[in-house]
Structure 1
Amino acid sequence: MIIAFIGWKQFADPEVSGSATGHDVLSSNSVAVLYTVNRKNPDEAVACVVRGRAQDGAEVGRREVLIPAGDEVQIGARTVVQTSRPAVIGEVFGCTTSVPSYLQAEE
């Protein structure tokens, strides 16, 4: 029973997920990442980490992004990531419902 629960918890549909749908290298120090965020509960804000990677696979830029609560289960977004050297790809590292306090929207 415990093994079944662990398997279900590990492989069940996540509360939130993000996936890159495209990228555009803007300059030698920035890349725009296009991505889709899917969330089970659109009433909850989520945080995503978007990053740029160089030809050798190294992470050369990273940005945390707040996806505010809303009405849509699936939402498209575009984020520009500043990089320390040229990026060849932009991607979503991951998304979470645990939004850091510094990403909270101002009231």
Structure 2
Amino acid sequence: MTARQLPEGRYGSRSRRGPNRWVRWSLFAVALVVSTGASIIGYNNLGNPPIDANRLTYRALDDNSLRITLEVRRDSPSRPAVCVVRAKSLDGTETGRKEILVPPSEGTAHPVTVVTTSAPPVSGSVHGCSYNVPEYLSTTTRPSG
């Protein structure tokens, strides 16, 4: 039995060359840069936050005020921070909001504040915290001029 011959030109050439070596390395480098960038962005967005705040207690003082106690942990306790706290009414709507200064401390801070509300409050929560303290909350005086 003889080997069967394929018609010439019908199936193309037998030796297919893959992409050049530099193209493969370039694609590998691009994939490496993209995956590294995605990892950094993911860590910054999903990693441990620099400030962690929880509501410890809340108590309605009257129909227009809520007392909230927080527990604030910072990666740099020596830096001042600002936290936003909210009060909510029975139907879940926000009835009061307040920014509070968390001064530098040795460790975990436990600030207490009273939020004025527009309706009888039933709960309180921490909306978030930041190291970007607004000037009007700052305890340091800044030179004018």
Could you state the TM-score of these two structures normalised by the residue count of structure 2?
0.70
User: Rg bigger for which structure?
Assistant: 2
- Percent identity for Structure 1 against Structure 2: 34
| Structure-to-structure mapping, 1:47-58, within 5 angstroms | 47-58=82-93
Q: Is residue 36 from structure 1 mapped to residue 71 from structure 2 by the alignment?
A: yes
Number of residue equivalences: 106
Name the structure where strand makes up a greater proportion of residues. Answer: 1
Runs of 4+ in 1 over 3 A off after TM superposition: none
CA positional deviation for 1:106: 4.3
Unaligned residue ranges in structure 2 (runs of 5+): 1-35
> C-alpha separation between the residues in 2 aligned to 1:106 and 1:2?
38
Could you state the TM-score of these two structures normalised by the residue count of structure 1?
0.93
Residue aligned with 1:3, SS: helix
Q: Which of 75, 79, 96 is 2:109 aligned to?
A: 75
Cα deviation 1:47-106 (Å, max 9, x = unaligned)? 00111001111110111100111222x111211100001111011111100000100014
Question: What residue number does 1:20 align with?
Answer: 55
Cα deviation 1:8-33 (Å, max 9, x = unaligned)? 11111111121101210111000111
Structure with the bigger RCO (C-alpha within 8 Å, sep 6+) is 1
Q: Which of 6, 9, 23 is 2:44 aligned to?
A: 9
> C-alpha separation between the residues in 2 aligned to 1:38 and 1:96?
11
Unaligned residue ranges in structure 1 (runs of 5+): none
Q: Which of 89, 94, 99 is 1:64 aligned to?
A: 99
Residue aligned with 1:76, SS: coil
> C-alpha separation between the residues in 2 aligned to 1:17 and 1:56?
27
Name the structure where helix makes up a greater proportion of residues. Answer: 2
